[in-house]
Structure 1
């Protein structure tokens, strides 16, 4: 294995033990004869750019708290290994066009996001928020007419079929759900491999399923694509869950539908984050809310760290990188 000339880990002191607990962090340090660490906790853009210029690394290891890269990169920089997901706040498309290689956490965290989608689905079907409000605040108890539903045998529709959706298919298997998918990259082979049915329109997806789960990336073509008309195709008692991106949905329309109380809604993402304290979504008994935490839980962030360390080793050995952000991936990802 050829050791990279230098590596700068520009990650915060809080991110390091979650993503790269020992001995993973020791593995990173051992990859190069010239290792340096820039704690990005509270760092200014100017201070980060200065540290990057001074280190002039061949590899930059980055995470959520790493500030954006400068337009003019250090001359030695060849590879950015990003421990997290969306790279658009870190690198520009122009960086990729000039040959910078960039990877992110790829599919390593898909199962955790899928798990959160399953949580919201079950919470909605079992009316978790309703019972929490009724029992905690009002001392309520009504098990004669609970109006709950089971996930077993339900029809589930997935908008988008990336790594998260594919993990979710596996989690849904014990429930024997009929799963349909609306996504541009689902062909006959994908249908056979995952046991799903492709549908050509969102209208079909929303009208034919008991549960619809939003997993599409946020790009210009998907911004606001989930309209009030689509949401009203979900039958009364049905479920809409969004663990993808908030702005894919017309949120004003979603609120109107939510306030009517006919369908149940699970949300981890919102058009404006943090969700304002006075948001009308708060306190609705048919709405399950989490604060954009569908990604890897702190105890599983090491999965992304292990994935990144494998990529660093692959880079050193001249092997292909996984989770590579090509120009096409950059354009079609959140």
Structure 2
């Protein structure tokens, strides 16, 4: 006797037209609709009360969504089993209690590592070539170099230090290969085999990493133990003419110490993340000469957001086939998110 096929789970998509265009271009949308012939598609943005009503009435088992999705209400999600989030931090979308109750949640995870690494390389080169200084000086002050010996540096042959050796750092190592740099890293939980495979030196202390890095790239996770771990003591260890780049988490760095290092030692800085975002208009960082600033642009550019859509489709297929989900958010990951 043949058993009945399992009913197709109800899937609901909530995206703006722009999010749909970037994350799910036509070829990916077609694949999604093949997976879920009865897909419920709602255009964002929606008001919170409307969102609650839709969840209560449609009772979706799966929600696929992005930035413009209101917070999931605990009282209207008893049927929800999986949230496939196309973007990064899920703190504003998913209450912690839902993770505790067993809701499965995934995000873009490592699918953006290559584009963040690309932005890291951009900021490294910008800091070494003093792009922040010259861009402002030439546009607002009419300046030009005064000699044939400008205060600029090349990346070739430099010592690069990575604070953190996760997926982004591993992608950055690949991008740095043509520059013949010497790479060190401090990431105590990463096994020796990964250091060996990447051909980089393990630093046993942060002090060693900072003291031996001409280029220090901050990519440490935003966990409580790392709050303001980079302060005056570490920044003073950076060699003369070193540059400091942060694309990790703003809370890891004491920004007041960064300002002091720039003003007192001429440290060149390049930042894409900040402790408070948007960066306050009166932040001292905005007034520094030796700095390149980006407004948290390190994630996937619109043309590469389809990478996140492809990962989401893989996860949806895995869910339907009872296979492990990629980049599953557990409570530890949730608590570390910003």
Alignment TM class, shorter chain as reference: over 0.9
Residue 197 of structure 1: aligned partner? 201
Structure 1 unaligned residues grouped into runs of 5+:
none
Is the 8 Å Cα contact of residues 259 and 288 (structure 2) preserved in structure 1?
no
For 2:38 and 2:61, locate their aligned partners in 1 and report how far apart those are by CA, in whole Å: 10
1:195-227: CA deviation from partner (whole Å, max 9, x where unpaired)? 112212211111111111111121211121111
Residue 66 of structure 2: aligned partner? 63
Question: Structure 1 residue 329: deviation in Å?
Answer: 3.0
Question: Structure 1 residue 255: deviation in Å?
Answer: 1.7
Question: Structure 1 residue 82: deviation in Å?
Answer: 0.8
Distance 1:252 1:279, change over 3 A: same
Which of 38, 48, 52 lines up with 2:51 in the alignment?
A: 48
Residue 109 of structure 1: aligned partner? 112
Residue 293 of structure 1: aligned partner? 297
Identify, as 1 or 2, the structure richer in helix.
Answer: 2
Is the 8 Å Cα contact of residues 3 and 316 (structure 1) preserved in structure 2?
no
Question: Structure 1 residue 237: deviation in Å?
Answer: 1.1
Residue 284 of structure 1: aligned partner? 288
1:218 aligned to 2:233?
no
For 2:122 and 2:287, locate their aligned partners in 1 and report how far apart those are by CA, in whole Å: 18
Aligned-partner SS, 1:108: helix
Residue 236 of structure 1: aligned partner? 240
Aligned-partner SS, 1:313: helix
Structural mapping, 1:104-253, within 5 Å: 104-142=107-145, 143-253=147-257
What's the RMSD between the two structures over aligned residues? 1.8
Is the 8 Å Cα contact of residues 120 and 245 (structure 2) preserved in structure 1?
yes
Is the 8 Å Cα contact of residues 52 and 76 (structure 2) preserved in structure 1?
no
Structure 2 unaligned residues grouped into runs of 5+:
none
For 1:332 and 1:134, locate their aligned partners in 2 and report how far apart those are by CA, in whole Å: 39
Which of 90, 100, 103 lines up with 1:100 in the alignment?
A: 103
Residue 275 of structure 1: aligned partner? 279
After TM superposition, the score normalised by the length of structure 2 is 0.93
Structural mapping, 1:300-315, within 5 Å: 300-315=304-319
For 2:337 and 2:205, locate their aligned partners in 1 and report how far apart those are by CA, in whole Å: 20
After TM superposition, the score normalised by the length of structure 1 is 0.94
Aligned residue pairs, count: 333
